[in-house]
Structure 1
């Protein structure tokens, strides 16, 4: 393996990532193989190069759900965006991504819900975890290769905590709890420079910023016996212990919502570095911005403004929601409202209309021979290069979608023109490229409503008939017939069939 960056990569670093001294940023550039990709790093506070130990293999851990209740759209937007990034790494840049996700199935909220409903906490956890995976599947989110449930890893967590105690970086207290001693970790605060501890106050803590890695037993709560007393894991220690068991002392990507940056990820990094005696545990932290409703208000259960995933899918398709995610930057808040979703639906329909129009154009009954149209092929090559560059620079999917819409617009000028020229090869190559990109982003491009073949044939016949009537009405300037055609179009739209008129042909797509 080469430890030095190629000359071309070093040149890119000079303007993309002017790295500061370690004492200021506390981010260490990994040794290994440059991928040519760049990602925003919250420790360095800028885009940094993605460098992997193996040029084609990367490890990825996502903080998963605490399964005490149903998931909502705030969770969905986070996991859809992380799914998109994972797909980009795998399908555009050929990275073999080994993905793992933690599931917290033992927690204060789960225990409290079990007590309130007089249900065993294990039953609560199993019920909502099952529902979570169904919701993720309905959004076409790929399931992680490895699922780490806390209840399956208690022994590993106990061993992890014991090692911290033995090394002097954690201490046990009289109530059976164990706290991480932040004074023993000088780099504490590297992920977020200014913060306040959200840890409950305790008379046993040595420092206000110390956090629990093990919680002492309380009456009516489940517990495990350890050498320092009865209790159960703290939230932060779970991920560190499970990741270390699966991936060892070094992790490439660690992902989650922006609200996990502090204290959860900060504490994970501190205790993992202490455990492995290293200055850097996770090389790349990926944080997804909140989903907002009504301006700057984030969607959360505490604010009681959540929307369930099944409720979303009653009004919009999974593709439409994913398109809205693609059109936003994963690091920043995403607004959720009817206007945003309608815009996403319109963009998605533009792609569907174009793909149908391109197929009809290639298979028309023209008598002229086809040509290659170098300008179209040149435009396609520029778009391909531009999109790869956008994805290399912190996974800029919004720029890709805008570029694809521009490609459709320029190609439609050829498809829908009245010229006798005929360019089937470049048009079908453009259509194939668009399908490829959208599929690799995780869009299925399926119709929002399942229809049988007979229904499709009948709609084809109606749209073709209306198109013929409309062209005759335009030629004869028959306003009455044109109004009738508009009524048919609007009626079809109310039945979730959207018609796209042009001077040559008419096409249609299902909408949700």
Structure 2
């Protein structure tokens, strides 16, 4: 079995991934707060953990992997959007969730096994909060319930690598008279008549943000599971607070075994922001005609733990690559297994850039003297390797028309001319044919194995008129 190594934020090192139960590998990833379209940065963790999901399914079997990603559908931003628009919260969250699924599907992301909404698990959150109070880790005050950081001071800050004292000194936290410690965070808060609310032992209210993921992961994956992921902007306070409340509820240090965090996204070398005019959603790009598969390939070119820079140049290059690969693999079935080099690259902490390097090698984009790879790999292997990365799938192929022409007669003509030239040593006809093919937008590949003609993006069949 392939050995997977992952960089664990908790230990700050890359180590071998050993699942708690190889027949039940479990992963939880923090999903979006559903009040608006997903921007490009929101899409990066979706693609990153989709690749990990695909790798885990490849190694352990699809039936032995469970992936949960939540929707936060109770939040003050949603409340404000409802108040400003005059629409109901349910309308907004239902619509936004479907937008998100449609946009992420356009990027080739598989849907997780579980996609829970926070509002579906309110009773479970209340029960967990009651348990934390009973164990001395939380307290009620003025209609609120807060987690007492001092009750777990020995563990708080380990994930993000911060000390409680430093956090108190440097963090901008809500200072409220009912807090015993400035770092204590909200588990439950009161709701007024105009806000969504549920009955609880502390009055009508709604949950704080952090408790939802602890409650949902517990119900769906158990008190301990293998992988917890998200963007590194969630490491503190969200994930730190999840660890604290979950470990305290569990009564030990058990929760997620491995923590993975992806780096943030930039646009043309700058942080994406509305003030700079470089803020856009996934839907914006799709509407502008940028294929979802192109967006995905640009993401995969950068390792998930490095900042990723979205540029128009990268998008153009990715489109050209995908057009070429789709032309190469048109009409064939993928190999039964992805090339081992691709699997090995992904197993090394999701090294997608290395995996793409080998795909280019299989496609003969890289001279063989620069890379060691099985020379017997075929187009079927290229397709299988690409599909492990979520590329060249049928679902993502609508954006580029597949060629409905057959170049085999032209390949035969060039092969015959080359064979004759090898005998006569006169290569004039070979050169003439190559010139015509290149002018028609065809890449000519000649090797000991034979002749191959690959139509490019600018292929024009009319320019071959009279040649066959």
What are the residue-to-residue correspondences of 1:343-422 with 2, within 5 Å?
343-352=317-326, 354-355=328-329, 384-409=339-364
Partner of residue 249, structure 1: 223
Residue of structure 1 in register with 2:49 after alignment: 82
SS at the partner of 2:4?
strand
8 Å CA contact 2:383, 2:392 repeated in 1: no
Shift in Å, 1:485: 7.8
**1:142 maps onto 2:115 in alignment:** no
How big is the shift at 1:111?
0.2
2:326–2:392 CA contact under 8 A, matched in 1: no
Q: Does 1:207 align with 2:153?
A: no
Call closer, same or farther: CA 1:224–1:351 in 2, change over 3 Å. same
Structure 2 contact 360–366 (Cα < 8 Å) conserved: no
- Alpha carbons of 1:302 and 1:266: their partners in 2 closer, same or farther (altered >3 Å)? farther
Does 1:179 find its partner at 2:146? yes
Report the 3-state secondary structure (helix = DSSP H, G, I; strand = E; otherwise coil) of the residue aligned with 1:253: strand
Pairing 1:53–2:20 present: yes
- The more displaced of 433-442 and 217-226 is 217-226
In the other structure, the counterpart of 1:430 is 378
TM-score, with length taken from structure 2: 0.80
* Structure 1 residue 300 displacement after superposition: 5.3
Higher relative contact order at CA 8 Å, sep ≥6: structure 1 or structure 2?
Answer: 2
Q: 1:476 to 1:394 in 2, by over 3 A?
A: closer
Output one character per residue of 1:36-75: Cα deviation in whole Å (capped at 9) or x when no partner: 3211011211112212222232111111111100112111
Q: Deviations over 1:65-89 (max 9, x none)?
A: 1110011211122201110111011
5+ long unaligned stretches in structure 2: 419-426, 459-468
The Cα shift of 1:510 comes to 5.5
Distance across 1 between alignment mates of 2:410 and 2:283? 32
Cα deviation, residue 385, structure 1:
4.6
Q: Does 1:112 align with 2:80?
A: yes
CA contact under 8 A between 2:5 and 2:16: conserved in structure 1? yes
1:66 is aligned to 2:37: no
> What's the TM-score once normalised by structure 1's chain length?
0.74
1:384, distance to aligned residue in structure 2 (A): 4.4
Match of 2:65 among 84, 91, 97: 97
**Taking structure 1 as reference, are residues 103 and 216 closer, same or farther at Cα in structure 2, changes over 3 Å only?**
same
CA drift at 1:347:
3.5
Match of 1:27 in 2: none
Contact 2:267–2:310 (CA under 8 A) maintained in structure 1: yes
SS in 1 for 2:157: coil
Cα 1:183–1:508 change in 2 (3 A) is same
Displacement of 1:266 in angstroms is 0.5
Q: Which residue of 2 aligns with 1:506?
A: 453
CA contact (8 A) 1:463 1:507 kept: no
Cα displacement (A) at 1:302: 8.1
Asked if structure 1 preserves the Cα contact closer than 8 Å seen for 2:339 and 2:385, the reply is: no
Q: CA RMSD in A?
A: 3.6
